[in-house]
Amino acid sequence: YGKNTIKFLRLHREGKKHFVKEVEVCAHLRLTSPQEYLEGNNSLVIPTDTIKNIVLVLAKKNGIPSLEQFAIDICNHFMTTFCQVAYVKTYVQEVPWQRLHEDGVPHIHSFICVPDGIRFCEAEQCRNGPLIVFAGIKDLKLMKTTQSGFEGFYKNEHTTLPERHDRILCGELFCKWSYGECKDFDFDCIWKKIRECILEAFSGPPDCGEYSPSYQKTVNCIQMLVLSRVSQVQVIEVVLNNTFYNVVDMKNLGLTNDKEVLVPVEAPYGSCACTLGRK
């Protein structure tokens, strides 16, 4: 049991310059006894309102140095403070605020919310067990307008999809990875590096791109690049929810439409998922 959707903004000031972290936290506990379920005995139950207040107090006292460290702090607090807690799991996601720049100069206290992917993390721990940390990015919308196709696929009497050697590749990406033993990791730096790997593997070189024969291959290329460059990542999961575009037939309007006007196919949409780990 626990408390979901604990939303708050943590404001940090350094002189005139302000820093913000707006997050949403879910904190769940499992107790050593199920007596509140079986007997209606609430003597060990930590009220969910108390859980919420603890999260807010930790944000006040410790700040949010990184999402992962804040999740670790929450796990550590419940494990060290309450002997009846057998397991704790914390999920934290961030609102993507970025500092405003005016003529290249960073503003000291103004920010803009940029929808270029939502950062999140999870930390979980069993009593007398290791602390496990996951991190990820979701709702990252990506598109490339060429260098993508889908050919040579299995066909039978139900197949109506034509082969394509030049199509738009577009999708909403979810990516989640697990760390090994968490030492003194720079979680912010690692997250940014993985995001850069995702963008590079999806798009290819900036002057020419790289051909993708399928959404599945693109998913694997992202995973392989991350595992090759980021040694701290042990297992990586990628889900790519596909958005398809159809070329509008403009013959009746007396126009030739060479893939210049397209409409998205809202539903149903495809999805490709894969989890890849080191040996």
The answer to whether 167 is annotated as binding is yes
pLDDT tens across 231-264, in order?
A: 999 999 999 999 999 999 999 999 999 999 999 9
The answer to whether 48 is annotated as binding is yes
The answer to whether 127 is annotated as binding is no
Say if residue 57 is in the same domain as residue 115.
yes
The answer to whether 41 is annotated as binding is no
With 0-12 CB in 10 A as exposed, 13-18 as middle and 19+ as buried, what is 242? middle
Say if residue 115 is in the same domain as residue 144.
no
Query: Of 93, 110, 129, which residue constitutes the final position of a domain?
Result: 129
**Structure tokens, 133:** 């940390």
Rounded Cα gap, residues 25 and 113, in angstroms: 19
Range of the domain at 257: 140-277
The answer to whether 119 is annotated as binding is no
pLDDT tens across 183-219, in order?
A: 789 999 999 999 999 999 999 999 999 999 999 999 9
Residue whose pair of structure tokens reads 């009846």 in the numeric block = 84
pTM, full prediction: 0.92
Q: Could you tell me if residue 255 is inside a domain?
A: yes
Say if residue 173 is in the same domain as residue 103.
no
Question: Which CATH number belongs to the domain containing residue 125 in this structure?
Answer: 3.10.270.10
Query: Of 66, 95, 129, which residue constitutes the final position of a domain?
Result: 129
The answer to whether 49 is annotated as binding is yes
Say if residue 151 is in the same domain as residue 204.
yes
